[in-house]
C-alpha cells in the first residue's frame, strides 16, 4: 500500500493555456505549508486571494487559495488548492515551488487513491470519477455520474446483504446437524436463492449496458474488394477518412474511426477486401483484416449486389462466435430492396444515396442490446462484469449443492465466495496489485 504520510502535489487542470490553472496538494499539516507559501494563514474552506511566493518572497502568481482541513476534503487529508493563472510555465513554477517546500509529485490517480484509502469513495466510485472525465457523450457522463453518486455500489451492496442473510440462515442449519436435512428442505432457502439469482440478472443487465456505454461496440467492415467498405466507413464517420476508388484492392491497411450513435460509442474498422491473389502487401492487409474480424463484436459483411457478388462463401469463413450482418450494397444500381431483407441479419443499402442506412444503424444498436437514454444505467467496467459473473457462478454452484446433494456446508461456502467476488467491485476485497492497476490508469492530478 502506498504511504500516505507525505504531501503530494500535481497540476489538476489540463496541460496548456487556460483562464485558470490549479495546483492541488494533499497530505498532512498543509496549514503551515500554506503559511510558508503565502505568508498568511488560510481560513478553512474559504476562498482567499493570496500571492504565491518564491523562495525570495517574490510573487510567482496572484491567485485564490483554498484550504480544506482533514477530514473534510476530497481525499480525507488536508487539501490545498492554488488556483492561479492557467499557463504552463506559471503552473510548473508553482508546482516546483511546492516541491521545494517538501511536497512530491503525485502519481497518476493518487488523489483518488487516497480518497479511496480514506473511505471517501469506494472503488466503483473512484473508477466512476475517471469514467466521468473520459465520458464521450452526455449519456455516458450521466451514467458515470450516477455511479459516482454511489448508485451502482448501493445495488451491489443490496445483493451482498441478501447473500449474507441467506448464508447466516444456512449456517444456522449446519449448527444443528440432526435437523439439517429438514432445514435445508425449507422452501425459504429455495425462494431466497431464486430471489438472489433474479437480482443478479437485473444487476448484470444494467452493468452490461453501462459497459457498452463505456467501451462501445467494435464493428468490422469486411467483404470482397470494391464492395463499398471504405465508402461505408466514410459515411458513418461523416468525413473522408478512407480512400475510395473503383479499383479493387484500394484499401490495404486497417483504418479505424470512432463515432457515436445516440451515445453508443462505435469503433468502426475498415479492412482490405478479401480475395485470392493480390500482391504481398494486399495479402498482409487481408491477414490483418482477419485478425480484426476475430476481435470484433460485430462484422458487417458487405457485398456488391450490382455485380452479383455472392456473400455465401465468405460468410461460411467468418469466425463462428461473432455476430455478422450481411449488407447488400449499391441497391441504387442493382434495384434490390433497401432496408431489412429476409432476416434481421440481412440488409440492403446504398452507401452512395443513403437508402437503407437508418435501418442498418438501428439494427446495430439493437444488436448491442443498447437502449438509448436508459435513465437507469450506471457506468460499469469489464472488471465489474467479471466479478458479477464469478459471483453468479458461485450462487449457481451453491444452488446445485442444495438441490442435488442437500449439502448445506458447501452451499454456505459458495455463498461466501459469491459475496467475496461482489465485494471486489466496491473494493472491500482487493489486492494492492489491482488497486495499482486501476489508479495508475487515471490522469495525473486526479
Ligand X SMILES: Nc1nc2c(c(=O)[nH]1)N(C=O)[C@@H](CNc1ccc(C(=O)N[C@@H](CCC(=O)O)C(=O)O)cc1)CN2
Ligand Y SMILES: Nc1nc2c(ncn2[C@@H]2O[C@H](COP(=O)(O)OP(=O)(O)OP(=O)(O)O)[C@@H](O)[C@H]2O)c(=O)[nH]1
Summarize as ranges the residues that interact with ligand X (CB under 6 A).
68, 71-74, 81, 120
Among 146, 167, 229, 394, binds ligand Y (CB under 6 A): 229
Select the span of 120-128, 160-168, 169-177, 244-252 touching ligand Y (CB under 6 A): 244-252
Q: Report the relative pairing of strands 18-27 and 217-223 from DSSP bridges.
A: unpaired
Binding-site positions? 24, 81, 120, 226-231, 245-251, 270-273, 446
Q: Are 125 and 148 within 8 A, CB to CB?
A: yes
Q: Are 440 and 137 within 8 A, CB to CB?
A: no
Q: Are 180 and 174 within 8 A, CB to CB?
A: yes
Of 367, 343, 354, 339, residue with least CA distance to 266 = 367
C-beta nearest to ligand X: residue:
72
C-alpha–C-alpha distance, residues 242 and 248, integer Å: 14
Binding-site positions for Mg(2+)? 230, 251
Select the span of 246-254, 300-308, 348-356, 359-367 touching Mg ion (CB under 5 A): 246-254
Q: How far is the CB of 414 from ligand X (least distance, A)?
A: 37
Binding-site positions for (6S)-5-formyl-5,6,7,8-tetrahydrofolate? 24, 81, 120, 446
Which partner, ligand Y, ligand X, Mg ion, none, binds residue 114 by CB below 5 to 8 Å per kind? none
Q: Are 128 and 134 within 8 A, CB to CB?
A: no
Which residue, 115 or 143, is less far from ligand X as judged by CB?
115
Q: Which of positions 320-349 make contact with ligand Y (CB under 6 A)?
A: 329-330, 332-333
C-alpha–C-alpha distance, residues 54 and 350, integer Å: 66
73 binds ligand Y (CB under 6 A): no
Cis peptide before 389 (omega within 30 of 0): no
Which residue, 81 or 122, is less far from ligand X as judged by CB?
81
C-alpha–C-alpha distance, residues 321 and 137, integer Å: 30
Instruction: Annotate 392-410 with DSSP letters as a single string.
Output: HHHHHHHHHIIIII--HHH
- HSE of 134, CA atoms in CB hemisphere, 13 A: 17
Which partner, Mg ion, ligand Y, ligand X, none, binds residue 398 by CB below 5 to 8 Å per kind? none
- The size of the chain, in residues, is 446
Which partner, Mg ion, ligand Y, ligand X, none, binds residue 419 by CB below 5 to 8 Å per kind? none
Q: How far is the CB of 364 from ligand Y (least distance, A)?
A: 18
- Contact residues: Mg ion, CB under 5 A: 229-230, 250-251
- Contact residues: ligand Y, CB under 6 A: 225-231, 244-246, 248-251, 272-273, 329-330, 332-333, 350-352
Amino acid at each position: 500500500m502506498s504511504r500516505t504520510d507525505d504531501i503530494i502535489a500535481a497540476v489538476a487542470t489540463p496541460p496548456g493555456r487556460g483562464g485558470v490553472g490549479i495546483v492541488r496538494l494533499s497530505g498532512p499539516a498543509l496549514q503551515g505549508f500554506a503559511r510558508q507559501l503565502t505568508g498568511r494563514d488560510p481560513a478553512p474552506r474559504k476562498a482567499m486571494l493570496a500571492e504565491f511566493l518564491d523562495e525570495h518572497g517574490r510573487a510567482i502568481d496572484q491567485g485564490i487559495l483554498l484550504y480544506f482541513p482533514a477530514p473534510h476534503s476530497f481525499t480525507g487529508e488536508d487539501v490545498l488548492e492554488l488556483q492561479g493563472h492557467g499557463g504552463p510555465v506559471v503552473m510548473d513554477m508553482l508546482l516546483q515551488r511546492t516541491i521545494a517546500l517538501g511536497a512530491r509529485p503525485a502519481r497518476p490517480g493518487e488523489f483518488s487513491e487516497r480518497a479511496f484509502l480514506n473511505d471517501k469513495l469506494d472503488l466503483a466510485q473512484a473508477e466512476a470519477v475517471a469514467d466521468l472525465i473520459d465520458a464521450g457523450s452526455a449519456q455516458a457522463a450521466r451514467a458515470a455520474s450516477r455511479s459516482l453518486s454511489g448508485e451502482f455500489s448501493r445495488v451491489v451492496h443490496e445483493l451482498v446483504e441478501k447473500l449474507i442473510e441467506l448464508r447466516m440462515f444456512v449456517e444456522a442449519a449446519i449448527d444443528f446437524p440432526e435437523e439439517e436435512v429438514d432445514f435445508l428442505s425449507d422452501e425459504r432457502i429455495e425462494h431466497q436463492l431464486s430471489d438472489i439469482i433474479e437480482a443478479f440478472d437485473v444487476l448484470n443487465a444494467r452493468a452490461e449496458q453501462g459497459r457498452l456505454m463505456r467501451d462501445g461496440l467494435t464493428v468490422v467492415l469486411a467483404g470482397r474488394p470494391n464492395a463499398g467498405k471504405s465508402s461505408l466507413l466514410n459515411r458513418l464517420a461523416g468525413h473522408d477518412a478512407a480512400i475510395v476508388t473503383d479499383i479493387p484492392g484500394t484499401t490495404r491497411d486497417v483504418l479505424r474511426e470512432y463515432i457515436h450513435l445516440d451515445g453508443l460509442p462505435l469503433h468502426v474498422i475498415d479492412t482490405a477486401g478479401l480475395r485470392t491473389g493480390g500482391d504481398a502487401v494486399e495479402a498482409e492487409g487481408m491477414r490483418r483484416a482477419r485478425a480484426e474480424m476475430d476481435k470484433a463484436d460485430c462484422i458487417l459483411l458487405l457485398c456488391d449486389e450490382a455485380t452479383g457478388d455472392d456473400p455465401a462463401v465468405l460468410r461460411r469463413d467468418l469466425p463462428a462466435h461473432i455476430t455478422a450482418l450481411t449488407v447488400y450494397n449499391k441497391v441504387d444500381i442493382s434495384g434490390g430492396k433497401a432496408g431489412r431483407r429476409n432476416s434481421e441479419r440481412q440488409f440492403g443499402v446504398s452507401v452512395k444515396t443513403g437508402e437503407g442506412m437508418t435501418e442498418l444503424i438501428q439494427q446495430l444498436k439493437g444488436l448491442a442490446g443498447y437502449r438509448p437514454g436508459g435513465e437507469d444505467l450506471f457506468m460499469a467496467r469489464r472488471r465489474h462484469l467479471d466479478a458479477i459473473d464469478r459471483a453468479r457462478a458461485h450462487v449457481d454452484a451453491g444452488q446445485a449443492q442444495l438441490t442435488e446433494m442437500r449439502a448445506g456446508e458447501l452451499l454456505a461456502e459458495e455463498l461466501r465466495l459469491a459475496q467475496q467476488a461482489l465485494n471486489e467491485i466496491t473494493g472491500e476485497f482487493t489486492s494492492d496489485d489491482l488497486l495499482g492497476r486501476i489508479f495508475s490508469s487515471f490522469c495525473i492530478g486526479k
